[in-house]
């Protein structure tokens, strides 16, 4: 047995002889080793494929996470915008509540509970708790009905039953006691104010120009028909589309009226330039105003009602730029079928037709605003007023002042 084992291992010993390289190569060429190498290569390829698959899967996962995070980020801002929008739908206010003190000897304090209409009370979360007999509830939404009740608790932690429920209804409550219910009161916490006709944040009682047209309330309320020149039973001083201008030095007024939904601002009298031609007499001077709320690029009108005197105007002049001459200049503004003035001396009415951004709109821009300066005139010659000197006396200040200008000369 020993000799057989020795002979058996002898060829292996020869492998490491001087010809060992040759023998190793021969050994590697044996069928079993070749098969091993092939299986190893296949295994390496499979491992490589698995790594590639893992790499690709990881890429997809990371990509989805990134996209999901973007969606979450976008969703966050959408929810934030909805929250801010809902929070800004109504102005908040504070409401003070008072009650009679409890006579319980072991009184520890009071709890106030609140709910909106059509909601339930949250008995675990009072809106106020303390020992005083008055409290102020903050953050209530305007024009919303609220209900309240009170509970008393003692030093042992016992709590009473509900008090009588009290309702705050803005349709009937006047919390500042000025006679105007809160739902209609522009200043529900200010007993001295309740209206803000021009929405400028200043109450009508403190505001000297309630409709913000540039003419004081005192001047407009002194106008025709006790300050209601258009007989609509609303004072002109409260209407943004009606302005009453007094003619300086006379008891007369001129009324400007624009369509509902528009607003006249910066209304005032203006004198023609000192170099105006003497061929026209401006009995009432010029009128300067800005009309807001016009449809962008749309048409609108302004009606001038003149004093009930004998008017013989035959033209209307404006001073300003035009589409064909952007330098301010005098031009006749008679209705050409689109823009211009229609003069009805029998009714003492002049109707001005405008198109936003077109001739007659001094800003020459379709922006929903019409800017105007102009006035009715009588065409005259030198003989009509006796001499070329007129009332102006060689230019001067235009004569008359305010809106009462008879004639301007060089």
Between 405 and 156, name the one with better pLDDT.
156
Kindly tell me if the per-residue pLDDT of 14 is higher than 70: no
Other CB atoms within a 10 A radius of the CB of residue 113 amount to 21
pLDDT score, position 81: 54
pLDDT score, position 47: 79
The model's pLDDT over 30-66, given as tens digits with 9 standing for 90+, comes to 455 566 666 777 777 777 777 777 776 776 676 666 6
pLDDT score, position 390: 38
Whole-number Å distance between alpha carbons of 155 and 182: 39
pLDDT score, position 251: 80
Cβ 114 vs Cβ 127: under 8 Å: yes
Element (H, E) at 23: helix 20-28
pLDDT score, position 32: 56
pLDDT score, position 354: 97
CATH of domain 92-168: 2.60.40.10
Q: Please state which of the ranges 17-31, 125-139, 176-190 shows the lowest mean pLDDT.
A: 17-31
Which pLDDT band holds residue 158 (cuts at 50, 70, 90)? very high
State residue 387 phi and psi, 5-degree precision: -155, 175
The model's pLDDT over 85-118, given as tens digits with 9 standing for 90+, comes to 444 445 788 888 999 999 888 999 999 999 998 8
The model's pLDDT over 187-235, given as tens digits with 9 standing for 90+, comes to 888 888 888 777 778 888 888 888 888 888 888 888 888 888 888 888 8
Cβ 274 vs Cβ 409: under 8 Å: no
Which pLDDT band holds residue 72 (cuts at 50, 70, 90)? low
In the numeric block, which tokens belong to residue 397? 């200040």
Whole-number Å distance between alpha carbons of 76 and 263: 41
Kindly tell me if the per-residue pLDDT of 20 is higher than 70: no
Which pLDDT band holds residue 386 (cuts at 50, 70, 90)? very low
Nearest to 253 by CA among 317, 179, 186, 304: 304
| Highest averaged pLDDT of the listed ranges 82-91, 133-142, 178-187, 265-274 | 133-142
CA dist 230 to 77, 258, 265, Å?
A: 51, 11, 18
pLDDT score, position 91: 76
Whole-number Å distance between alpha carbons of 77 and 380: 69
Cβ 152 vs Cβ 133: under 8 Å: no
Whole-number Å distance between alpha carbons of 144 and 170: 7
In the numeric block, which tokens belong to residue 352? 């001005």
Whole-number Å distance between alpha carbons of 259 and 241: 7
Cβ 333 vs Cβ 318: under 8 Å: yes
Contacts of 389 (CB under 8 A, 6+ apart): 409
Cβ 229 vs Cβ 244: under 8 Å: yes
Whole-number Å distance between alpha carbons of 136 and 98: 9
Element (H, E) at 266: strand 263-270
pLDDT score, position 402: 39
Which pLDDT band holds residue 125 (cuts at 50, 70, 90)? very high
pLDDT score, position 69: 58
The angle, 0 to 180 degrees and rounded to 10, between the axes of the packed helices 20-28 and 2-15 is 100
| Average pLDDT of every residue of the chain | 78
The model's pLDDT over 251-264, given as tens digits with 9 standing for 90+, comes to 888 999 999 999 99
The mean pLDDT of 276-297, rounded to a whole number, is 87
The model's pLDDT over 131-157, given as tens digits with 9 standing for 90+, comes to 999 999 999 998 899 999 999 999 998
pLDDT score, position 303: 95
């Amino acid at each position: 047995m020993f000799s057989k084992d020795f002979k058996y291992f002898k060829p292996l010993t020869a492998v490491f002889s001087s010809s060992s390289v040759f023998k190793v190569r021969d050994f590697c060429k044996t069928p079993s080793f070749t098969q091993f190498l092939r299986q190893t290569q296949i295994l390496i390829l499979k491992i490589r494929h698995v790594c590639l698959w893992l790499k690709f899967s990881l890429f997809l996962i990371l990509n989805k996470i990134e996209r999901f995070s973007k969606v979450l980020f976008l969703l966050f801002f959408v929810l934030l915008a909805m929250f801010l929008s809902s929070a800004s739908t109504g102005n908040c206010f504070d409401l003070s509540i008072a009650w009679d003190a409890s006579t319980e000897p072991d009184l520890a304090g009071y709890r106030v509970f609140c709910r909106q209409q059509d909601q339930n009370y949250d008995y675990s979360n009072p809106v106020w708790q303390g020992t005083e007999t008055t409290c102020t509830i903050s953050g209530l939404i305007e024009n919303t009905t609220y209900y309240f009740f009170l509970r008393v608790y003692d030093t042992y932690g016992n709590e009473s039953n509900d008090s009588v429920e009290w309702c705050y209804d803005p349709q009937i409550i006047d919390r500042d006691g000025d006679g105007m219910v809160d739902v209609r009161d522009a200043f529900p916490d200010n007993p001295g104010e309740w209206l803000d006709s021009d929405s400028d944040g200043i109450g009508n009682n403190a505001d000297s120009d309630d409709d913000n047209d540039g003419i004081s309330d005192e001047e407009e309320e002194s106008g025709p028909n006790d300050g209601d020149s258009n007989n609509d039973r609303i004072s002109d001083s409260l209407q943004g589309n009606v302005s009453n201008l007094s003619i300086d030095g006379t008891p007369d007024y001129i009324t400007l009226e624009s369509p509902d939904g528009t607003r006249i601002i910066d209304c005032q009298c203006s004198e023609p330039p000192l170099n105006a031609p003497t061929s026209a007499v401006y009995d009432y001077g010029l009128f300067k105003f800005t009309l807001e709320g016009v449809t962008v690029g749309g048409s609108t009108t302004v009606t001038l009602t003149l004093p009930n005197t004998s008017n013989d105007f035959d033209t209307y002049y404006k001073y300003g730029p035009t589409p064909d001459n952007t330098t301010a200049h005098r031009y006749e503004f008679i209705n050409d079928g689109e823009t211009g003035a229609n003069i009805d001396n029998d009714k003492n009415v002049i109707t001005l037709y405008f198109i936003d951004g077109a001739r007659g709109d001094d800003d020459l821009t379709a922006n929903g605003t019409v800017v105007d300066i102009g006035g009715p005139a009588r065409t005259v010659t030198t003989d009509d007023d006796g001499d070329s000197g007129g009332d102006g006396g060689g230019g001067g200040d235009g004569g008359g002042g305010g809106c009462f200008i008879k004639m301007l000369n060089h």
